[in-house]
C-alpha cells in the first residue's frame, strides 16, 4: 500500500485535521465545535496528546487504530450535498474493539446510535451499519495501539508495580503494533529485556511534588551512568507529573547508551470485559515518547524526560530515603510458580529536612560580612556541584527553599506561598 500524506493535528486544540487535497489544505472536522481559531497544523508524531474520538461510536478515549476499507460518506440535503472521506484507518475504543473481536458488530452499531441520539431513526441506523460494514468487511489483520489518548489517571501502588512491569514487557514482546520510534522489533525486544532486569521505584506523594517542582527549573543535564539509581529501571510517580501528565518512566541500557521512555496510564474509567481485555493485552502503561541517549549526551532542561532527570538527581544527592514495599500476594505466588525470586520494589521518600543552612549558600549569597536584620526566603533552585576526579565535573544539585539570615531576626513579609512538604508520607498497606 502506498503511504499517504502524513497525519496532521491542530497544535491549538490537539484535534486531528482533515486534508482537502493537493496542495494540502487542512481544516477542522465539520462536526468539531471550536472557538473559531484557524488550524495550526503539526505532524501528529510530534505530539504527546491528540484529541481523537472512536470512529465507530464517538467515545473520547480511542485505543486502537484499525485498517480497513476506504469509506466515503455522502449526505444530500435540500440545498446541496456533503462528501466526507472517512478514510481506511479508523480509531476504535476499547469497548467497540471488544465487540468487534467477539463478532458482535451489531453492538457497535447500537453504541453509535445511542451516542448520537438517533434511536428513533431506523433508516439512520441502517446507514451507520452500512458504513461500519464497508470498513470492517475489508479490514486487514493487526492493529496499532494509540498512545496519544489522554486517559483519566489510574493509581498504581507500589505493591502492584511488579505486575505492571511484567504486563508492559509482555506487550512489548507481543504482536500489536506501536507507532513511531518504538515500532521496530529490535527496539521492542531491547526494552522488554531491560524491563525484565529493571529495578522498580515508586515515588511517594511528597517526593513527587518535589520532583515536579524541581523539573520546572531544571538546567541542562549531562547524561552519565552515575546519575541513575540502577542500570535499568522502571519508576512510577504517585500521580501524573508536569503538564505532559507523565505517570511513569523507564530507562534501558543498550549497546550505545540508553532508551528513556515516558508513560501514561491507560484504561481509566473502563470496567467489565473491555477493561479486562485491555489489562490482558496491554496492561496499565502506554509509551508517550522516547529518546535514545548516550554517555555525556546533554539534554536541555525542557526535555520530555525532565521529570525523570530531576528525580534521578534528587536521589543521587541523597535527598531521599529508600525503603522496600511489600509486594502483592498474588504477584508473589505468580513469581513462585515460575521459579522467579520475588521482585523488590523500592519506595522513594523525602529525607528528613536539615535544620542548618545548605553548605556553601552563605558564602555564595553575596551577603558575607554584612549584618542582616531580617530573614529572607530563598526559593528552591538548582546549582552546579563539583564532583569526580579532581572535582572537575559538574552535576546539578537542588537546593530546597530556606530562610537566610540570623536565627533571631524577623522574617521579611512576602506574598509568595511556599510548600515545604507538610504531609506525612503514606505507608504502604
pLDDT, residue 251, reads: 97
pLDDT, residue 401, reads: 61
pLDDT, residue 415, reads: 40
pLDDT, residue 176, reads: 96
Query: For residue 374, how far is the Cα from the chain centroid?
Result: 44
Looking only at Cα atoms, what is the longest distance across the chain?
Answer: 87
Angle (nearest 5°) at CA 175 between 170 and 181: 85
Phi, psi of 386 (to 5 degrees): -70, 145
Q: Which three cell numbers stand for residue 40?
A: 495550526
Residues 6+ apart with CB under 8 A from 61: 54, 93, 94, 149, 151, 269
| Predicted confidence (pLDDT) per residue in 107-144, tens digit | 999 999 888 776 667 788 888 888 899 889 999 999 99
Q: What 3-state DSSP class applies to 123?
A: helix
d(CA 223, CA 321): 23
pLDDT, residue 183, reads: 84
pLDDT, residue 410, reads: 59
d(CA 287, CA 290): 8
Report whether 206 contacts 320 (CB < 8 A). no
d(CA 229, CA 58): 43
d(CA 365, CA 321): 29
| Predicted confidence (pLDDT) per residue in 11-54, tens digit | 999 988 887 777 888 888 776 778 889 999 999 888 999 999 99
Report whether 67 contacts 140 (CB < 8 A). yes
Identify the H or E element spanning 162: helix 161-172
Per residue of the chain (429 residues), give pLDDT as tens: 444 567 889 999 998 888 777 788 888 877 677 888 999 999 988 899 999 999 899 899 999 999 987 765 544 444 433 444 567 889 999 999 999 999 999 999 999 988 877 666 778 888 888 889 988 999 999 999 999 999 999 999 999 999 999 999 999 999 999 987 788 999 999 999 999 999 999 999 989 998 999 999 899 999 988 889 999 999 999 999 999 999 999 999 999 999 999 999 999 999 999 999 999 999 999 999 999 999 999 999 999 999 999 999 988 887 778 889 888 888 888 888 888 888 899 898 877 654 444 444 443 444 444 456 765 556 677 878 777 787 777 778 877 665 566 666 654 554 443 333 434 334 344
pLDDT, residue 7, reads: 83
Neighbours of 269 (CB within 10 A): 12
Neighbours of 279 (CB within 10 A): 16
Buried b / exposed e along 337-373 (16+ C-beta atoms within 10 A): eeeeeebebbbbbbeeeeeeeeeeeeeeeeeeeeeee
| Predicted confidence (pLDDT) per residue in 249-292, tens digit | 999 999 999 999 999 999 999 999 999 999 999 999 999 999 99
d(CA 13, CA 178): 24
Amino acid at each position: 500500500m502506498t503511504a499517504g500524506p502524513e497525519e496532521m493535528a491542530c497544535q491549538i486544540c490537539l484535534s486531528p485535521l482533515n486534508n482537502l487535497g493537493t496542495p494540502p489544505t487542512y481544516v477542522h472536522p465539520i462536526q468539531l465545535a471550536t472557538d473559531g481559531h484557524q488550524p495550526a497544523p503539526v505532524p501528529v508524531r510530534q505530539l504527546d496528546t491528540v484529541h481523537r474520538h472512536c470512529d465507530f461510536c464517538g467515545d473520547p478515549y480511542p485505543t486502537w487504530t484499525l485498517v480497513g476499507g476506504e469509506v466515503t460518506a455522502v449526505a444530500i440535503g435540500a440545498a446541496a450535498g456533503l462528501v466526507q472521506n472517512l478514510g481506511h484507518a479508523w480509531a476504535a475504543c476499547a469497548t467497540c474493539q471488544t465487540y468487534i473481536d467477539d463478532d458482535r458488530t451489531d453492538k457497535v452499531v447500537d453504541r453509535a446510535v445511542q451516542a448520537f441520539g438517533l434511536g428513533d431513526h431506523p433508516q439512520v441506523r441502517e446507514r451507520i451499519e452500512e458504513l461500519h460494514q464497508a470498513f470492517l468487511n475489508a479490514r486487514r489483520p493487526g492493529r496499532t495501539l494509540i498512545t496519544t489518548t489522554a486517559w483519566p489517571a489510574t493509581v498504581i501502588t507500589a505493591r502492584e508495580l511488579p505486575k505492571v512491569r511484567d504486563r508492559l514487557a509482555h506487550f512489548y514482546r507481543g504482536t500489536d503494533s506501536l507507532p513511531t520510534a518504538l515500532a521496530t522489533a529490535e527496539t521492542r525486544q531491547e526494552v522488554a529485556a531491560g524491563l525484565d532486569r529493571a529495578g522498580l521505584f515508586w515515588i511517594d506523594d511528597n517526593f513527587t511534588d518535589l520532583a515536579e517542582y524541581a523539573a520546572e527549573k531544571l538546567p541542562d543535564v549531562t547524561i552519565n551512568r552515575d546519575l541513575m539509581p540502577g542500570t535499568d529501571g522502571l519508576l512510577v510517580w504517585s500521580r501524573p507529573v508536569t503538564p505532559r501528565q507523565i505517570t511513569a518512566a523507564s530507562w534501558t541500557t543498550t549497546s550505545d547508551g540508553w532508551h528513556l521512555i515516558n508513560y501514561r496510564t491507560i484504561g481509566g474509567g473502563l470496567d467489565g470485559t473491555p477493561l479486562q481485555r485491555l489489562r490482558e493485552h496491554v496492561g496499565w502503561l502506554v509509551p508517550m515518547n522516547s529518546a535514545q541517549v548516550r554517555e555525556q549526551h546533554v539534554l536541555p532542561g525542557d526535555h520530555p524526560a525532565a521529570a525523570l532527570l530531576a528525580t534521578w538527581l534528587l536521589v543521587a544527592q541523597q535527598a531521599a530515603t529508600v525503603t522496600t514495599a511489600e509486594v502483592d500476594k498474588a504477584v508473589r505466588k505468580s513469581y513462585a510458580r515460575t521459579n522467579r525470586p520475588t521482585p523488590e520494589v523500592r519506595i522513594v521518600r523525602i529525607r528528613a529536612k536539615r535544620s542548618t543552612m545548605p553548605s556553601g549558600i552563605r558564602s555564595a549569597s553575596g551577603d558575607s560580612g554584612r549584618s542582616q536584620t531580617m530573614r529572607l526566603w530563598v526559593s528552591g533552585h538548582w546549582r552546579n556541584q563539583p564532583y569526580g576526579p579532581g572535582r572537575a565535573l559538574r552535576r546539578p544539585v537542588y537546593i530546597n527553599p530556606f530562610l537566610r539570615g540570623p536565627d533571631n531576626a524577623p522574617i521579611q513579609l512576602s506574598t509568595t506561598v511556599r510548600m515545604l512538604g507538610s504531609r506525612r508520607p503514606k505507608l504502604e498497606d
